[in-house]
Structure 1
């Protein structure tokens, strides 16, 4: 195999992807599987998770499932221990689990604030730390945190979400700084606006879609498959000297005022 192409090969590596029963997580799972990785799908809904796993297996992917709550430290530690024991060492972690709630900030409920912080930020700390503790003795590993264009830009009605994604950008950099000495690369992917379940209401909103397409230099919504190349690159040896970087896959949104 051409040495350049070989550097993108994930054969023999195990990738855990949180929140991967649908949307961006599932698309990244499919992409990494296509590059040769063994996939561990995660979500809380075991039935939905298994259905997604079966769909990937039908395409020839090596897939196992691990249903656990990424916001519970106890559940995370137990699950990571089980994966490492029964499936094998986790070589790649993609922290993708996330949620959104839209409301003006003065009307945002305190309970919803804590919920979005736990889901979008606490989970990355908990899963990232549990996996990194096992990567450190092995002196290798790839961690990818799914950030957002909201890591850089704000929008009305989503201040708490933007706060989590801005913090996640800096957590990504902090992880890279602390763990880079152990051969671990930690980077982020910042998706723009993609057609997913999370954005379904916006996709169906003709006024918003027209505004977004006009605002995006590439003049379209993103398709989840657009993220696969970035995911494979940051998971592979091709990115061995890329650390603490946020790769925005946004059609140019962050490039233009």
Structure 2
């Protein structure tokens, strides 16, 4: 299959790790669907900001010599997830690579987690991946080719104080991924998980010097990961070099775990 003909959909790709993944795939020759969070119930200024960031990603994709489209959707809504996948297929006729990256976090001790907070974390981090996989698999099965890459976290493997809802959602991605791999491996579809450790982000930038020192002491490589570290593994898993790799969890954590 000609690499230049492949199409990737990256959810939550207007910023952060998702943005870097989208740009890395574009530089490798993929046509990329950039998804940003868009829910009519949210403040219009927030949606506008998300859309503008997604458009900036598209400009960089085009500057890299590839092509892409920008699509707004709240993938935690099954109808919007379906419409998102349908829009990509309508534009390009296919989806070869699905990267489920959309996610949120809000630290809270388990006794203080409200029902709506639990539901929001599970829906955004886990249910969204299920919805997008379910829709994309319909076309991948017919084509007998597909790469599904779910972005989890090392917290999903170990748990973490103050992150029960987040850890549960990220752990759930493992079961989802393994099941897809078993169901559709004979159709030429692979499904794998990337579990990042501490990655440079707005969140880690706000840590105190003491927090950073403690964090780095637990990492064998002695540094935080970068979004590029994650994107590089995505590109590998999407490539033909990883054709015999499925139902795996790749921990990109600098040896922390």
Common fold: TM-score over 0.5: yes
> TM-score if structure 1 supplies the norm length?
0.91
Mapped pair 1:105 → 2:110: yes
Contact residue 14 and residue 90 of structure 1 kept, 8 A: yes
Counterpart Cα distance in 1 of 2:35 and 2:68: 11
Counterpart Cα distance in 2 of 1:49 and 1:26: 8
> Secondary structure of 1:97's partner?
coil
Question: Which residue of 7, 10, 16 corresponds with 1:17?
Answer: 10
Aligned pairs for 1:1-257 within 5 A = 10-44=3-37, 45-201=50-206, 204-254=207-257
Counterpart Cα distance in 1 of 2:91 and 2:178: 31
Task: Tell me the C-alpha RMSD between the 2 structures.
Answer: 1.5
TM-superposed CA distance for 1:96, in Å, is: 0.2
TM-superposed CA distance for 1:50, in Å, is: 1.3
Moved over 4 A (4+): none
> Secondary structure of 2:4's partner?
coil
Counterpart Cα distance in 1 of 2:124 and 2:102: 7
> Secondary structure of 1:52's partner?
helix
Cα offsets for 1:152-179 (capped at 9, x unmatched): 1122211110111111111111111111
Q: How many residues align?
A: 245
Counterpart Cα distance in 2 of 1:20 and 1:95: 10
Counterpart Cα distance in 1 of 2:164 and 2:87: 37
Contact residue 76 and residue 128 of structure 2 kept, 8 A: yes
Counterpart Cα distance in 1 of 2:104 and 2:93: 29
> Secondary structure of 2:222's partner?
coil
> Which range moves more in the overlay, 39-48 or 98-107?
39-48
Counterpart Cα distance in 2 of 1:171 and 1:47: 32
TM-superposed CA distance for 1:199, in Å, is: 4.1
> TM-score if structure 2 supplies the norm length?
0.91
